[in-house]
Amino acid sequence: MAINYGLSEQQIEIRNIMREFALERVAPARQELDEKEEFPHALLQELGGMDMMGLYIPAEYEGFGGGSLDFCIGIEELSRICIGVSVSYAANALGSYPILLFGSDEQKKKYMPAIAKGKKYAAFGLTEANAGSDAGGIQTTAVLKGDKYILNGTKQWITNGGEADTYTIIAMTDKNKGARGASAFIVEKGMPGFSFGKKEKKLGIRASATRELVFQDCEVPKENLLSREGMGFIVAMKTLDTSRPGIGAQGVGLAQGALDEAVNYARTREQFGKPIIANQGLQWLLADMATKTEAARALLYAAARTIDSGEKDVSKVSAMCKLFSTDVAMEVTTDAVQVLGGYGYMREYPVEKMMRDAKILQIYEGTNQIQRGVIGAALIKEYASQKK
Amino acid sequence: MHIVVCLKQVFSTPQVRINPETNAVIREGGEWIINPFDEHALETALALKDTVGAKVTVITAGSQQAEAVLREALARGADAAVLLSDAAFEGSDAWATAKILAAGIQKVGAVDLIVCGKQTMDGDTAQVGPAVAEFLGWPCVTYVRKLAVEGTTLKLERLFEDGFEKVEVVLPAVLTVGKEINTPRMASLKGRMAAKKAQIAPVNAAALGLAPESVGRAGSPTRIVKMATPPKKTGGIKIDGSDAAAAAKTVVEKLRELKLV
């Protein structure tokens, strides 16, 4: 029996719908999307019609009004079949959270409904060539001139880059203030001076679009500033705290998908006159894979529920579930290739893609070393505030 | 436009097997689903709802369990659902089923168009759609693969094994569709949540004004004498083809033996 997580009727339905969609639509398409490095436009459009693109967006902005756990369950099921597709799906939330968390009602009304319906995609632009984990090193600038901000600089490795219409961009409004001199902006595709650079060739998640955003005297209306000047770093950190469980959900789903493949293969593959699953050595490997996956899921759901409870400081739990789930995904997908042996290494079977795909989870939205740093910093803070 | 879609709940198994003693289909390792062709009928109606505007009512005749296919249709976007259910309906053949459906559709009110799957995956008769049209006295166009609406006229293409036919029909009419016509959509989350709560009250024979003996086994002209698994095909004769001339000679000899040439 699977663990009973006490999911609501709505959460069970989200899981059912996403599972059906992943099996019927994504599974037959994933290999070709991966090989052709093709953005899963048709799949995302269909998810829009199924209310899935607006799962995390409040009902007042035409979304479904779901919480973190609802969204994580959706991402998990999609990731069980393909995280190249699920990252293209989830990156919309990453691009939207700055608006949802810090935008004015007017900004939310202007941008969220189209994203909720899947008519437009969103992307988040933080990373630069010299500013990855160290967001303080951002070199893109924004200078106020009259009623417009003028943006200059290049963002790198932006998921949904080129495909999205709505971009939330972190740029420096005051370089002298370091991290406190950063601000967040909503930039629309088509604004003068905004163009796209090269599309990256990647190890995995090849269905997703990863591209440079180039700003050359890009004119952004003043009202597109999110919150106020100097809030950019906080916008970025809160956005990542909120979105990280989504990466954890990708890890749990991917690990589950690899476990599904490994167990099914081991049950049917015969060597020495018996199915290979009859070997204790293999059973123990599969048992460890299953246990780690379930532990990752339990931590993910607990973290998502903490966010849904309205808890303010979620940095630690959010980092923990991202760290643990994605390390598990890397281990379990690697073990799945081992279970399938030579077949596992061939592109004909899905586990080689799963293993290639898994690596990014330990890197993006903060490397797992950065996650450990976040957890460490939280520990220092927690224990320092405890009375002796 | 008011469109009625006829649905049937069928049992799907990877391989259909029949119990030789009871002549019943063995229901193991499978699931109850909407008859696949009916999914395309539903999508035909939902697509018309999206493009020209329509109310879509789904209808099925079956046990209480068949309610599941109606709920799935509501989840995908149908507006109303009708379950025709009565112990007297049990054992209905294609003729009696069509009679029940036609009576149910007449109770639904003013209807412009009825869409059915071209056949079911269990009975495979392809008779129910046309028979519903007969009971209602409406024209029927079968095997539709393409459809366009122009006022009260439908411009249609019918697909055959060796080509297609262009046909026009004036509403009201009955269509049966194949899988070529569209790709059925999947249910939406809001649709699923609303469909769970939908009230579907079963409509019985009395409510339809059908005498119990006019439907079900008693009202069905078809008699099932025997159900059996078709005999396995034997292997045939394999001729080594490495020497083409010799192989051709052997083939001709065999055909001569069988007096086929």
Q: Where do the domains of chain B lie, and which CATH numbers do they carry? A: 2-214 (3.40.50.620)
pLDDT digit string (tens) for chain B, length 261 residues? 999 999 999 988 766 677 767 666 676 667 889 999 999 999 999 999 999 999 999 999 999 999 999 999 999 999 999 999 999 999 899 999 999 999 999 999 899 999 999 999 888 889 999 999 999 999 999 999 999 999 999 999 999 989 999 999 999 999 999 999 999 999 999 999 999 999 998 999 999 999 999 999 999 998 888 877 777 777 788 888 889 999 999 999 989 998 888
Under DSSP, the state recorded for A23 is I
Q: Is the Cβ of A17 closer than 8 Å to some Cβ of chain B?
A: yes
Q: Is the Cβ of B194 closer than 8 Å to some Cβ of chain A?
A: no
Contact B188 A49 (CB under 8 A): yes
Rounded distance between C-alpha atoms, residue B121 and residue B118, angstroms: 10
Collect all residues of chain A within an 8 Å Cβ-Cβ radius of residue B185: 46, 49
Rounded distance between C-alpha atoms, residue A18 and residue A72, angstroms: 11
Give, in order, the Cα–Cα distances in Å from A251 to each of A27, A100, A354, B3. 18, 25, 11, 45
Collect all residues of chain B within an 8 Å Cβ-Cβ radius of residue A10: 193
- The pLDDT score that the predictor gives to residue A195 is 97
> Domain with A26 in it: what CATH number?
1.10.540.10
Contact A10 B186 (CB under 8 A): no
Rounded distance between C-alpha atoms, residue A157 and residue A205, angstroms: 13
- CB-CB neighbours of A7 under 10 Å: 15
Collect all residues of chain A within an 8 Å Cβ-Cβ radius of residue B191: 51
Q: Is the Cβ of B232 closer than 8 Å to some Cβ of chain A?
A: no
Q: Give yes or no: residues A267 and A195 share one domain.
A: no
Q: Which residue of B has its CA nearest to A16?
A: B189
ipTM of the complex, rounded to two decimals: 0.87
Partner-chain residue, chosen from A24, A46, A51, that has the shortest CB–CB distance to B189: A51
- The pLDDT score that the predictor gives to residue B224 is 81
Q: Give yes or no: residues A267 and A371 share one domain.
A: yes
Q: Is the Cβ of A21 closer than 8 Å to some Cβ of chain B?
A: yes
- Tokens in use for A387? 């009375």
Collect all residues of chain A within an 8 Å Cβ-Cβ radius of residue B195: none
- The reply to whether A3 falls in a domain is no
- The contacts of residue A54 (CB under 8 Å, 6+ apart) are A48, A62, A63, A64, A115, A116, A117, A118
Among residues B16, B37, B24, B74, the alpha carbon closest in space to that of B159 is found at: B37
- Tokens in use for B6? 């006829």
Q: Is the Cβ of B49 closer than 8 Å to some Cβ of chain A?
A: no
- The contacts of residue A32 (CB under 8 Å, 6+ apart) are A38
Q: Give yes or no: residues A13 and A65 share one domain.
A: yes
Contact B189 A25 (CB under 8 A): no
- The contacts of residue B191 (CB under 8 Å, 6+ apart) are A51, B74, B75, B76, B77
Collect all residues of chain A within an 8 Å Cβ-Cβ radius of residue B193: 9-10, 13
- The reply to whether A367 falls in a domain is yes
Which of A51, A53, A117 is the best substitution to test chain B (most B C-beta atoms within 10 A)?
A: A51
Domain that holds residue A72: 9-116
- The pLDDT score that the predictor gives to residue A66 is 95
Contact B186 A25 (CB under 8 A): yes
Q: CA A49 from chain center: how many Å?
A: 21
Which of B72, B189, B197 is the best substitution to test chain A (most A C-beta atoms within 10 A)?
A: B189
Q: Among A60, A84, A116, which residue terminates a domain? A: A116
Q: At what angle do helices A232-268 and A315-345 cross, to 10 degrees?
A: 30
Give, in order, the Cα–Cα distances in Å from B185 to each of A28, A293, A384, B46, B110. 16, 32, 56, 9, 26
Collect all residues of chain B within an 8 Å Cβ-Cβ radius of residue A9: 193, 196
Collect all residues of chain B within an 8 Å Cβ-Cβ radius of residue A21: 186
Q: How far is A10 from chain B (nearest CA, A)?
A: 7
- The reply to whether A221 falls in a domain is yes
Q: Give yes or no: residues A48 and A107 share one domain.
A: yes
B245: exposed, middle or buried (Cβ count in 10 Å: 0-12, 13-18, 19+): exposed
Partner-chain residue, chosen from B185, B186, B189, that has the shortest CB–CB distance to A13: B189
> Domain with A213 in it: what CATH number?
2.40.110.10
Q: Is the Cβ of B188 closer than 8 Å to some Cβ of chain A?
A: yes
Tally of domains within chain A: 3
Q: How far is A134 from chain B (nearest CA, A)?
A: 39
Q: Among A89, A116, A143, which residue terminates a domain? A: A116
Rounded distance between C-alpha atoms, residue A126 and residue A168, angstroms: 8
φ and ψ at residue B200, rounded to 5 degrees? -120, 105
- The reply to whether A329 falls in a domain is yes
Q: Give yes or no: residues A243 and A358 share one domain.
A: yes
Dihedral sign computed on CA atoms, order A173, A177, A178, A181: negative
pLDDT in tens, B50-59: 999 999 999 9
Give, in order, the Cα–Cα distances in Å from A219 to each of A150, A153, A321, B2, B6. 5, 13, 39, 51, 56
Collect all residues of chain B within an 8 Å Cβ-Cβ radius of residue A14: 189
Q: Is the Cβ of B197 closer than 8 Å to some Cβ of chain A?
A: no
- The contacts of residue B44 (CB under 8 Å, 6+ apart) are B5, B115, B144, B147, B175, B177, B181, B182
Q: Give yes or no: residues A131 and A107 share one domain.
A: no
- The pLDDT score that the predictor gives to residue A168 is 98
Q: Among A233, A255, A290, which residue terminates a domain? A: A233
Q: Is the Cβ of B259 closer than 8 Å to some Cβ of chain A?
A: no
Contact B186 A46 (CB under 8 A): yes
Collect all residues of chain A within an 8 Å Cβ-Cβ radius of residue B188: 17, 49-51
Which among A77, A128, A212, A365 is annotated as catalytic?
A365
pLDDT digit string (tens) for chain A, length 388 residues? 689 999 999 999 999 999 999 999 999 999 999 999 999 999 999 999 999 999 999 999 999 999 999 999 999 999 999 999 999 999 999 999 999 999 999 999 999 999 999 999 999 999 999 887 787 789 999 999 999 999 999 999 999 999 999 999 999 999 898 889 999 999 999 999 999 999 999 999 999 999 999 999 999 999 999 999 999 999 999 999 999 999 999 999 999 999 999 999 999 999 999 999 999 999 999 999 999 999 999 999 999 999 999 998 999 999 999 999 999 999 999 999 999 999 999 999 999 999 999 999 999 999 999 999 999 999 999 999 887 6
The answer to whether A311 is a known catalytic residue is no
| A316: three-class secondary structure by DSSP | helix
Q: Give yes or no: residues A107 and A147 share one domain.
A: no
- The reply to whether A187 falls in a domain is yes
CB pairs under 8 A between A and B: 34
Contact A10 B193 (CB under 8 A): yes
Q: Is the Cβ of B193 closer than 8 Å to some Cβ of chain A?
A: yes
Contact B189 A52 (CB under 8 A): yes
| A45: three-class secondary structure by DSSP | helix
Q: Give yes or no: residues A95 and A126 share one domain.
A: no
Which of B46, B183, B186, B196 is the best substitution to test chain A (most A C-beta atoms within 10 A)?
A: B186
Q: Give yes or no: residues A149 and A32 share one domain.
A: no
Among residues A327, A320, A326, the alpha carbon closest in space to that of A299 is found at: A320
Q: How far is A376 from chain B (nearest CA, A)?
A: 39
Contact A64 B190 (CB under 8 A): yes
Contact A17 B192 (CB under 8 A): yes
Q: Is the Cβ of A20 closer than 8 Å to some Cβ of chain B?
A: yes
- The pLDDT score that the predictor gives to residue A145 is 97
Q: Give yes or no: residues A339 and A253 share one domain.
A: yes
- The reply to whether A2 falls in a domain is no
- The reply to whether A387 falls in a domain is no
- The pLDDT score that the predictor gives to residue B16 is 66
Q: Give yes or no: residues A192 and A277 share one domain.
A: no
Question: Do strands A182-188 and A166-172 pair parallel, antiparallel, or not at all (unpaired)?
Answer: antiparallel
- The reply to whether A21 falls in a domain is yes
Q: Give yes or no: residues A375 and A340 share one domain.
A: yes
